[in-house]
A and B are shown apart, each in its own frame.
Chain A
Amino acid sequence: MDANSAEPALLVDPAQRIFKVARRNFVDHDIFEAEKARIFDRCWLYLGHSSELPKPGDFITRTVAGRNILFTRDVKGRLRALMNTCPHRGAQVCRERKGNAKSFQCFYHGWTFSADGKLRGQPGEESYPDDFKSRSTSNMQPVPRYESYRDFNFVSFDPNIVSLEQYLGNAKEYLDVICGQTDAGMSIVAGSQEYSIRANWKLLTENSIDGYHAVTTHASYFDILMNTTDNMSSGTGGGFGYDLGGGHAVLEYGAPWGRPVAQWIPGWGEPGKAEIARLYDKLVAQHGKDRADRIALKNRNLFIFPNLVVNDIMALTVRTYFPMAPDYMVINAWALAPNDETTWARKYRLNNFLEFLGPGGFATPDDAEALEHCQRGFKNSKEALWNDISKGMGKENPSHNDELQMRAFWTQWNRLMFPGPVPNIKDVAA
């Protein structure tokens, strides 16, 4: 088997409501290598949030699809995404995770660069031509493409990719709804959750937009939740899954947990009730009742192809992940919050976040366990060949706990991985 195998990666037959995914997509080394070239080198990938670099001179180093990126705010306040490698002999220029700096010096031969990547000086300048510093090849190279939407910054290593806004397409509207929680802007809260799962990265894509697993995988979380909500069920009421095109997808649904913007639960007491009411009224004044209700009371698990999840649930989390091997991924996750949030709301937001989310929470570790056991199950993939993600196929409006979202992801994945007509694939779901 290899990435160009005639064996289909998907088996799709809408008439019979069949949608199957070959398990070798999760284990095959050639598929893993092909994904680097056909997906991660050709998509827009999340780099970071503008709020992480509030002041000129602020910088962050981050790894995106295996590349070392230096993300800076230059003296003029403009954000820059640079390839973190010295134009001279290749050493990684900045070796710190984050900070504030007037310039960056490569420690190998001492070349110094400003935050926009321009060469400012190098020892032994007299041995170089006079115009050396004005040559663009003397500067740290910018990432081929860098754009942002509503403070979400993305890079692409494909110089010919469509604009970020065009790429985001229908997903933009959901980012707008999420950013509509406040008119004061949003910031990433200090503290990065950096973890890993011994499973294929696509399992986390599926899991992040899977409304079907919650009741069983997270049974123990819901036991605890019922203590803080007094078994209140007013926040539930179902929801829907949407294929946003381009591999992006979203679930939008009601749920019993408290939302810091803005769904109160008894566990938050009377002071919380007043604050949540204030936030809700503000949303109504700003957006009108219908949109305010959507922002305040609906939850959204938004997936932006191929590896960004923005979950607007009991807290707001931004999560991105990268494959390191067919059976190992690394994950970075952050909490996002409105800038004008009160001390009370910020505290309860973070408290809510930790109860469910992250590698020390009451839910994420069980997700990781499930993903790792899928990966174990795929050791049988030569005999037991297929995953089934057909739930809700053929419905006019699939529910949030159907599997339309996963079909949207896999359809785009297949399109990028196998652009030519592939024999044996009967169809690819629309």
Chain B
Amino acid sequence: MNAVNRSDVEDFLFAEADLLDQWRLPEWLTLFTEDAKYEVPCTDLAPDASPDTSLFYIADDRVRLGERVKRLMKRTAHAEFPHSRTSRIVGNVRIRGRTEREIDVSCVFQTLRTKDGTTDLYFGTSNYKLATDGEGLKIREKRCLLGSEGLRPSGRISIVL
């Protein structure tokens, strides 16, 4: 899939954002490879910090990402019951590098979340490794670097960024 261009990547990322906004999380999960990672480092860490040696907010392998999705679809995921309403904007999409297997992509995100009369903004940069060696694009790695200083006043990442 060396012919992947920016508009293919944009279509893919926009579709991902749409699935998340619609809370179609089990479907969203199928966008990930079996060896995938989803990570959100603390905001005082270097962008390339490792969750094996530094404290993150989120460092999911594919198994825990599956648990996250299962949890969020339950009534007992209290922080997201009833589900919040979200609106994601993904922009400044760029292909940063290519290998035989994958492409490195960066984009900025702004996600608005409303629940119980309060609206919070999450913003930052997402770095993706998108697998190009299968059928269509798949996410092998998604690392969201929050642009904010900590999580104030949003307080928590109970949605998927």
Contacts and interface: CB of A to CB of B under 8 A. Distances in A.
Given A220-B76, A359-B57, A195 B51 contact: no
Interface in B103-161: 116, 118, 149-158
Contacts of A360: 40, 56-58, 156-157
A191 B44 contact: yes
Interface string A335-360: 10000000100110011011100111
Given A360-B157, A364-B156, A190 B78 contact: no
A415 B150 CA distance: 35
A194 interface: yes
B156 A191 contact: no
A401 B149 CA distance: 36
B43 A359 contact: no
Contact of A192 (B42, B49, B64, B68): B42
B56 A354 contact: yes
A362 interface: yes
A96 to B, nearest CB: 11
A365 B57 CA distance: 11
A175 to B, nearest CB: 21
A355 B55 contact: no
Contact of B151 (A334, A347, A359): A359
Given A194-B150, A364-B156, A350 B77 contact: no
Interface in B51-106: 51-59, 64, 67-68, 70-71, 74, 76-80
A369 B10 CA distance: 34
B151 A195 contact: yes
A362 B71 contact: yes
A97 interface: yes
Contact of B78 (A193, A194, A217): A217
Contacts of B40: 360
A193 B76 contact: no
Nearest to A227: B67
Contacts of B116: 372, 376
Contact of B79 (A196, A369, A376): A369
Contacts of A217: 78
* Interface size grouping (class) on chain A: 35 or more
B15 interface: no
A368 B156 contact: yes
* Interface size grouping (class) on chain B: 35 or more
Interface in A97-145: 97-98
B156 A195 contact: yes
A217 B81 CA distance: 12
Interface string A387-417: 0000000000000000000000000000000
Given A97-B44, A190-B45, A369-B78, A350 B151 contact: no
B158 A191 contact: no
A368 B80 CA distance: 11
A358 B59 CA distance: 12
Interface string A205-228: 000000000000101110110010
A319 interface: no
A354 B44 contact: no
A350 B57 contact: no
A364 B151 CA distance: 13
A190 B46 CA distance: 10
B55 A335 contact: yes
Given A190-B49, A224-B67, A346-B52, A196 B57 contact: no
A311 to B, nearest CB: 14
Q: Which 4 A-B pairs have the closest CB atoms?
A: A194-B150, A191-B55, A360-B57, A365-B79
Given A347-B52, A359-B57, 13 more contacts: A191-B55, A191-B56, A193-B57, A194-B42, A194-B150, A219-B76, A343-B52, A350-B54, A358-B55, A362-B71, A365-B158, A370-B78, A376-B116
22 contacts: A190-B49, A190-B55, A192-B150, A193-B42, A193-B150, A195-B152, A196-B151, A197-B155, A217-B78, A223-B74, A346-B53, A350-B53, A350-B56, A351-B51, A354-B51, A354-B55, A359-B57, A359-B155, A360-B156, A362-B67, A365-B157, A372-B116
